[in-house]
Structure 1
């Protein structure tokens, strides 16, 4: 299937000669993956797969028997398939993202389309729905500008799905609707009693939970017994001091599964008796929150969890269940690498299994659950040679005030002893964390000969409420100290040497990189900021103007505007004594290019060596391969001047060289 399908879609792969050891084939890393996602139809007769092209992302339906493409969905230039789900054996529902103006990072449009196995496609919901015309009494589809999401594909109902719709408003109320996937006709089921709500259904497709946040950003969870019943508030974060996230229901609907924050330590998953409200603990890790919910085949019934506990690991509510035994067999068969059943036939006999690692972007296998045999289907990036990739090891270390910090250290393949190192703080900073897996930025740096240090500083998600909230109002403070402590830990452990370290990050990570060289002028030899924010009062003002909830977030998590100038890197340029590289996009609406321009001006005024790469048609993170190649080429050259690592080769973006 792999070679046939992607030949049809003009994505055939070619070999290329190996590179000199000091070169980094950046073109191989910025090249588009062969596909974005792939899902098996309920009968197993077809695959649906999203395929990125140069100016759009298309969806193809492929018949398994002969690898023939029987359906293709593609909108005009700059429109992208962002998500899709099989809703019956012959039909896929598609969510779309679009580029607006010069913004090169696609943004969700809230539209829902369908593609059938006979090749026909249609729009169900969204601004492109056309009126049947004046005087027409029959109008199946509503002509209105709303944002729609799929809530439940109703596996046992081929005609209807449950969706949520809301106006394009940052503080909108959401309603749940029943959508006819053939005609586009929508019928309201219920409206959420809280803003920005998401709905959870039970195994019978009844909407029973609504979880949302009002302008104070505190979570509220509402429950109802069934259709027609009133909503009842069962958790208010302002009262309980914790968030309770609904995960789903038992098959009979008598038990609800919730992920509940704790006063200290990681979240727990509990079983709530919906009749009495009694909650029984089910699963909890010693330091890590649940990351992914695992469901029973062809249902919305949760059966287990995946934790990012250094490396991914799975845990199940019932260790003797069919799902638990199947996962244990798969994990053993794939040598302990993480596995995930991404889709399966409705009878459960054939499953599509994804496996990946720190050195492999991912492979997909067809697994016969009866014969217990796996057949390789395709790879995300089969020009990447896992044997030549760096190895990522989970680490933990104490902060100066006693918090345990977790993170990752990646070393080039075959490297020994102390190495020049790049510290790479993640973005966010809240609601984000670094994970174990294949990271292209990390591997580019490892390929150039660097050790790469990533640390989930306080404020990162995934380690419980207290750890997350410990980062509030700590911009340039304890969050920054955690990065400093991790860097000094790496020196003390012999992973690097004190005069061979640079710091590089994107978005908040760029802020942390520039704050790092301002606050610790002797620790780093250079700094790189990519699509960064450097003027905190400007960011605070932008959030406050955007919405009431944005203003609440700015005050609660950043701090009051008057105090933020003192921890803004562009106001501290005179303390920076090492070279700086800044890159930004002119259409960035999250951290506008003005942040980088102000940072550049301040550095030049202070006499700090600075170089820049500004791409006026890019947004928050460069999207086009040729622009990403320019960035990584300049990044490696910049780092090499301070640390002596490898530089980029001259292969073209999207080239076919084997990554080394």
Structure 2
């Protein structure tokens, strides 16, 4: 349900919107001269691919994927050996298949639901005979998988919070439909469980949110012994077992170093035995380990672009062969069979969303499986380049700048702040940034301190800096753009979702001279209630949130000083505010109060409330309307 809360009526607004967009489009097209940039329709940017989640069967003879049928996502299977046997495998007409994985060459486990809040439904299906079995009774508990690419003696390992919604116990789920068996009851503080290559769980991690402890046992049923302890600054992230060695594992670790490195560890005593790959400038990503092969096939780091280093010699030869065929593209390995004969990979650039391909090594044959967004394939887009600047305290901050096609002396700027803050922006095709660039704005994305991927010192530098140095990093970046002559200082907007939305609202309160307007989607207005909305299964991380953000009781004055709700009277720039009724992280009541306080000061504010949406808008019509509103709002206040 759409609610309008603004100073004009709906019909007046609709006429205003249409007139504004018509005038803007005419002005834009007429002013582009020889480097004319066509205005791409909004739906074209955010159209969802009809084919997703391509996964190879263990022997590489089949490819399963999710495709649209009757407006619902269903499983389809491509038979590489016998193409005539390719078929649609599920026929859901009122719900979507949410995820799936192969357990053998002829069976798939999948889950479906009508929404992300819906009850769990878990099935196995025989690919040959299209016969489905319900694996566990329909319930409202949640499930987390262990080693989803393998089954052990007709069972798969899973964590479920059936007994207590705040903790996950370890189960074996039988693939013949005979139910599940409790293996280990969570004492309350176990947050992660890790299986060995024989399907036995010998390693677990406990957490009090700030400190993490790894516990090892020689066999199931035996007591656990503490082997590794880390604090909130240090990380050990197990990837999987070492082939043929149940006492060793591959992991990402920054113990004794600033950046995450790929290492091999002896788990009985928690000792690092070998550094396999590291980079002095960036953390190693979590991708690259394949449980089916029980080895890290490649490592990846993000610098200005993503850099992939392939460790397996056979896969390295295949990867380099593919690189020669797609010389100007970045290539991501999505899946590979156990014999390295078949491969699924994705290509992309900053100006092209790319495609997903299947590669047969023996035949040196490449087949396109899907184009990521066919409506954008033949379109032209501006470049995305990495930039770096110094913050006011001398720290080097990096980010990205996406340009419109038409070069200008200086650009209207949209500062697009990433969520998290423990995430980061990366180089590649960004539909949201390119949509804004297509409308004539340069898009500035800042990896402020506290962003991930730059080492633990940079990450922890963002602790308790909401409303502090994080916001200063963003402001310093904008000031740098102005001094470089890139930004038109009178036409700068700030925009984001979640923490990005919070940053936009904070800027409207405390930096109104720097920005012309602000756009917030599910932005946090009150950090006191932010902590009250945490789901029970996240409670074990509460101390970590206190370390990263602050404590609402012990640091009451800090929370009040940095929560936009208590400073709405300072706002004097226009705000566009989106809020979902089912958002667990941002209080609707607080959002309503903030908007009302701003409206009481006769500051232009447009508030759009979607009762059926959460933190992220998921319905296609709501996503399209979101960007229509953004387009009209920016056209009004930046042009």
Distance in 1, matches of 2:244 and 2:338, equals 19
Query: 1:222 aligned to 2:204?
Result: no
Deviation readout 1:588-633 (Å, 9 max, x if unpaired) = 2221332321221111122311112222222212211111111111
* CA distance 1:275–1:538, change in 2 (3 Å): closer
* CA distance 1:126–1:471, change in 2 (3 Å): farther
* CA distance 1:519–1:439, change in 2 (3 Å): same
* CA distance 1:531–1:325, change in 2 (3 Å): same
Q: How many residues align?
A: 597
Distance in 1, matches of 2:137 and 2:253, equals 35
RMSD (Å) for aligned C-alpha atoms: 2.9
Give 1:374-523 correspondences, 5 Å limit. Answer: 374-385=366-377, 387-430=379-422, 432-523=423-514
* CA distance 1:626–1:272, change in 2 (3 Å): same
Report how far residue 125 of structure 1 moved: 2.4
Deviation readout 1:138-177 (Å, 9 max, x if unpaired) = xxxxxxx653333224658683333333337453142142
Report how far residue 333 of structure 1 moved: 2.9
Return 5+ residue gaps in structure 2 as ranges. 1-27, 30-36
Correspondence for 1:304? 298
* CA distance 1:232–1:277, change in 2 (3 Å): same
Correspondence for 1:284? 278
Give 1:2-151 correspondences, 5 Å limit. Answer: 21=37, 23-52=39-68, 56-64=72-80, 65-66=82-83, 70-75=87-92, 77=94, 79-99=95-115, 106-107=116-117, 109-117=119-127, 118-127=129-138, 146-151=141-146
- Of structures 1 and 2, the one scoring higher in RCO (CA 8 A, sep 6+) is 1
Report how far residue 258 of structure 1 moved: 2.1
* CA distance 1:538–1:545, change in 2 (3 Å): farther
Aligned partners of 2:165 and 2:536 also within 8 Å: no
Aligned partners of 1:71 and 1:115 also within 8 Å: no
* CA distance 1:173–1:602, change in 2 (3 Å): same
* CA distance 1:369–1:229, change in 2 (3 Å): farther
Distance in 2, matches of 1:153 and 1:546, equals 21
Report how far residue 390 of structure 1 moved: 2.8
Q: Residue 271 of structure 1 is aligned with which of 258, 261, 264?
A: 264
Q: Greater shift after overlay, 450-459 or 149-158?
A: 149-158
Correspondence for 1:586? 581
Distance in 1, matches of 2:71 and 2:124, equals 21
Aligned partners of 1:96 and 1:108 also within 8 Å: no
Distance in 2, matches of 1:54 and 1:454, equals 38
Aligned partners of 2:102 and 2:149 also within 8 Å: no
Aligned partners of 1:264 and 1:466 also within 8 Å: no
After TM superposition, the score normalised by the length of structure 1 is 0.83
Secondary structure of the corresponding residue to residue 498 of structure 1: strand
Aligned partners of 2:228 and 2:270 also within 8 Å: no
Distance in 2, matches of 1:164 and 1:110, equals 13
Report how far residue 556 of structure 1 moved: 2.3
Correspondence for 2:363? 371
Report how far residue 196 of structure 1 moved: 4.8
Q: Residue 208 of structure 1 is aligned with which of 202, 205, 209?
A: 202
Report how far residue 468 of structure 1 moved: 1.9
* CA distance 1:194–1:294, change in 2 (3 Å): farther
Return 5+ residue gaps in structure 1 as ranges. 1-18, 100-105, 129-144, 645-660
Distance in 2, matches of 1:154 and 1:627, equals 35
